[in-house]
Amino acid sequence: MFENKERTSLEELGEFGLIKHLTDNFKLAHESSVKGIGDDAAVLDFKDKQALISTDLLLEGVHFDLSYVPLIHLGYKAVQVNLSDIYAMNGVATQITVSLGVSSKFPLEAVEEIYKGIELACNKFNIDLIGGDTSTSRQGLVISVTSIGYAAKEDITYRNGAQEGDLLCVSGDLGGAYVGLQILEREKQIFLENPQIQPDLEGKDYIIERQLKPEGRRDVVDLLAQLKIKPTAMIDVSDGLASEILHITNQSDKGCTIYEDKLPIDPVTYETARELGLDPTVCALNGGEDYELLFTIKQTDYEKLKNDVDISIIGHITDKNSGVKMISKSDVVHELKAQGWNAFKN
Amino acid sequence: MFENKERTSLEELGEFGLIKHLTDNFKLAHESSVKGIGDDAAVLDFKDKQALISTDLLLEGVHFDLSYVPLIHLGYKAVQVNLSDIYAMNGVATQITVSLGVSSKFPLEAVEEIYKGIELACNKFNIDLIGGDTSTSRQGLVISVTSIGYAAKEDITYRNGAQEGDLLCVSGDLGGAYVGLQILEREKQIFLENPQIQPDLEGKDYIIERQLKPEGRRDVVDLLAQLKIKPTAMIDVSDGLASEILHITNQSDKGCTIYEDKLPIDPVTYETARELGLDPTVCALNGGEDYELLFTIKQTDYEKLKNDVDISIIGHITDKNSGVKMISKSDVVHELKAQGWNAFKN
């Protein structure tokens, strides 16, 4: 990627020089960011709000493949997946820390690309970068992001608040990120077998973008506030819809019924899944990495949301003994199981 | 290490099972820990205090060598080095998140050892484990810890507050962790050449412990509060004394003079350095990983501290133009340079 450019070695700069170089453009915008990078710890002041903290570790070869993930997208996504967890608490994300482990053979320009992506995400979502740790890695690229946000105590939405009769809602559409990944993997294999063949991503832009450039749904948090809806439970879809539904039902000690024909699947996702011999419903249920918000609302809030095209009502909460089920298009009842991403299998 | 025990595979448990299994013993003790592990984000409530956030990434082969670092010590140290940053802000550490990347070939019992060390550190320093992320790693072991603490706004000590005439103080002694590491490296080489030879660590307990089991100096933060001393600047000694002094002088826009004969060096460190052909003063200046606190105080606070055997006054702050110097035992003036650990060289 950097063959024709001059390379600057990381050794020359050293850790502190590198951090300064990479973070000079990042300005603190939040009143709560009292002190950012440059001391032993960052200092935050939330006054009467409660702070939210979330952290994610991304490892090369496990969470991303540098052969088809551009570094700028990687930086962007690393931030987004983390912010998504703060939004899933019905909070406002305000700060992040970023720790990076990179090979000392990595040129500065490559690390800069990652930081460009981080900066894009920070600017777009109004986030202050307040600290981190940068180090050489003997193995692959390692990115650890911790995000911090806040919310008023009464607005925070946990996973355990779903009540019988609540409606189960999901934002956007599902399965796209997973099907996009299958296309990238397919093209990688073709390229490995014959490097002369250019990747064929024609018409797949939407699902490729779902995989490479997911967006945390801060807009959904804003929408809910605007509509004066406080979800009874909420989670983001990172491991797959089925797995997330089970988190809500387990923690709320409830059951749930969803309807296959209500699952929001984009036409490109649907067609491409078929093309690849995959069941679009299975992709939506188990694919993961959609970073949509899954939440439950009281039935009395139905009128406020029913006309929003970006929110789908896919089922309802039942008593625990009724189990967690999907009614298929042909009216067959399936028990839902978490077949999402197992961090120790994939 | 686990040859004779039954191994439990991580695949069987999966990520959520593993997190639950490992963190079941960790109870939340702080009123500020509103919600810990088990939701999208942890929730903290500091009311009228300011929050402190610090993060560190530890990578196998760079920050630790599993051939001589027991896993329990690794877990303990990963927490300590992070708490140390909160103490260096003159704050109280209260919570941590821990993200772990481990090979799926790692048995459960090995991950449990790491968590035992984390638990020991949490119990000893009164820390709530509130979140994290656990994942397979295709390469080495990866540990990312973020620590959270708090302090009253007026108590927080930054690196940039040192004033001309202030006294430069350091807790404990220096160079031990580095010399301990040299001994461990030496014994590793001997073992690799002849596995029949048992490691010879006789009489080296103190410095081996300094390397493997450092302790964050919360007691120094407590002592300063008790003596009603607010340091004008503070930092922890992670990269080496010289490097940390330069952080304080650069950020405070001042100079500094220290005296070689005032550097606190333990006799075991001194003798072992000599044995290995190293200059004990250089080990103290550049060794790093001591996790002692380096701080500046007003001269008027001298009387309060002068009899404390655990705190050494090693020099004083000067104007910027006087530079950053060490007066040697033979009265030669040396300019101090940051020759501490370069994250991209070692």
Instruction: Provide the CATH number for the domain around residue A175.
Output: 3.90.650.10
pLDDT at B339 over 80: no
Residues 6+ apart with CB under 8 A from A54: A82, A85, A86, A146, A147, A149, B40, B41, B42, B131
B26 falls in which pLDDT band (50, 70, 90)?
Answer: confident
Q: pLDDT tens digits, chain A, 346 residues: what are they? A: 444 456 777 777 776 777 778 787 788 888 888 888 878 888 888 888 899 999 999 999 888 998 889 999 999 999 999 999 999 999 999 999 999 998 878 888 888 999 999 999 999 999 999 988 888 888 789 999 999 999 999 999 999 999 999 999 999 999 999 999 999 999 899 888 888 887 778 899 999 999 999 999 999 999 999 999 999 999 999 999 999 999 999 999 999 999 999 999 999 999 999 999 999 999 999 999 999 999 999 999 999 999 999 999 999 999 999 999 999 999 999 999 877 655 565 4
Half-sphere exposure for B345 (CA within 13 Å, toward CB): 11
Reply yes or no on whether the pLDDT at B343 is more than 60.
no
Instruction: Report the pLDDT value the prediction gives residue B341, as an integer from 0 to 100.
Output: 58
Predicted confidence band at B67 (pLDDT cuts at 50, 70, 90)?
confident
Q: Determine whether the interchain pair B136/A343 forms a contact, defined as Cβ–Cβ distance below 8 Å.
A: yes
Is A290 a domain residue?
A: yes
Residue that finishes a domain, picked among A131, A155, A179: A155
Nearest by CB to residue B137, choosing from A56, A59, A132, is: A59
Nearest residue to B90 (alpha-carbon basis) of B235, B226, B215, B214 = B235
- Please indicate, yes or no, whether residues A142 and A193 belong to a single structural domain of this protein: no
Residue B17 lies in a domain: yes
Q: Return the amino acid letter for B112.
A: E
Q: For the domain that residue B112 is a member of, what is the CATH number?
A: 3.30.1330.10
Say if residue A272 is exposed, middle or buried (CB neighbours under 10 Å; 0-12, 13-18, 19+). buried
Please check whether residues A197 and A77 belong to one and the same domain. no
- Taking contacts as CB-CB distances below 8 angstroms, the residues of chain A near B101 are 57, 59, 62, 142
Tokens of A58: 């991304």
Question: Whose structure tokens read 């093309």?
Answer: A275
Alpha-carbon distance of A64 to A78, in angstroms, equals: 10
Q: Same structural domain for residues A249 and A331?
A: yes
Annotated binding residues of B for Mg(2+), written as ranges, equal 40, 54-56, 85, 133, 236, 239
In a domain, B181, yes or no: yes
Q: Does B107 have pLDDT greater than 60? A: yes
> How far is the alpha carbon of A186 from chain B, nearest alpha carbon, in Å?
21
C-beta neighbour count of B307 within 10 angstroms: 7
Pair B200, B308 in one domain: yes
Given this model, what pLDDT does residue B5 score? 52
In this prediction, residue B139 has a pLDDT band, given cuts at 50, 70 and 90, of: confident
Q: Could you tell me the two tokens for B312?
A: 């050494």
A338: helix, strand or coil = coil
How many CB pairs (< 8 A) connect A and B?
243
**Together in a domain, B177 and B296:** yes
- In our burial notation (b when 16+ CB lie closer than 10 A, e otherwise), range B153-179 reads eebbbbbbbbeeebbbbbbbbbbbbbb
Q: How far is B277 from chain A (nearest CA, A)?
A: 27
Q: Per the domain annotation, does A343 fall within a domain?
A: no
Instruction: Judge: B34–A50 Cβ closer than 8 Å, yes or no.
Output: yes
Interchain pair A130, B53: CB under 8 A: yes
Beta partners for residue A326, in sequence order = A258, A334
How much is the average pLDDT of B285-304? 96
Distance from CA of A8 to the nearest CA of B (A): 13
Q: Give mean pLDDT, residues B88-110.
A: 90
Q: Kindly indicate the confidence band of residue B138, based on its pLDDT and cuts at 50, 70 and 90.
A: confident
- Mean pLDDT value across residues B31-43: 84
- B26 found inside a domain: yes
**Does residue A253 have a known ligand-binding role?**
no
Cβ–Cβ gap B146/A53 under 8 Å: yes
Q: How far is CA B65 from CA B62, B181, B211, in A?
A: 7, 10, 12
Q: Based on the fold, state whether residues A132 and A191 are members of the same structural domain.
A: no
Please report the pLDDT score of residue A341 as a whole number.
58
Confirm whether A162 is domain-assigned: no
Answer yes or no: do B144 and B212 share one domain: no
Q: What pLDDT score does A99 carry?
A: 92
A1 falls within a domain = no
Structure confidence at residue B2 (pLDDT): 42
- From A105, A135, A155, the end of a domain falls on A155
Contacts of B13 in chain A (CB under 8 A): 344
Domain that holds residue B31: 10-155
Cα separation, B317 vs B255, in Å, equals: 6
The residue with greater pLDDT, B344 or A25, is A25
CA distance A185 to chain B (A): 18
Give the SS3 label for residue A155.
Answer: helix
CB contact under 8 A, B144 and A140: no
Q: Residue B59: which of A84, A89, A142 has the nearest Cβ?
A: A142
Q: How far is B331 from chain A (nearest CA, A)?
A: 32
B18: left (phi over 0), alpha (psi -120 to 50) or beta: alpha
User: How confident is the model at residue A270, as a pLDDT?
Assistant: 98
Residue B308 resides in a domain: yes
Closest CA to A114 of A134, A88, A85, A128: A134
**Chain A CB contacts of B139 below 8 Å:** 59-61, 138-140
The pLDDT confidence band at residue B340, using thresholds 50, 70 and 90, is low
* Shared-domain flag, residues B176 and B137: no
- Domain boundary residue among B120, B155, B190? B155
Domain count, chain B: 2
**B188 & B316 share domain:** yes
Measure CB to CB from residue B45 to each of A34, A50, A343 and give the nearest one. A50
- Whether residues B232 and B314 fall in one domain: yes
Same domain flag for A293 and A183: yes
B255 & B151 share domain = no
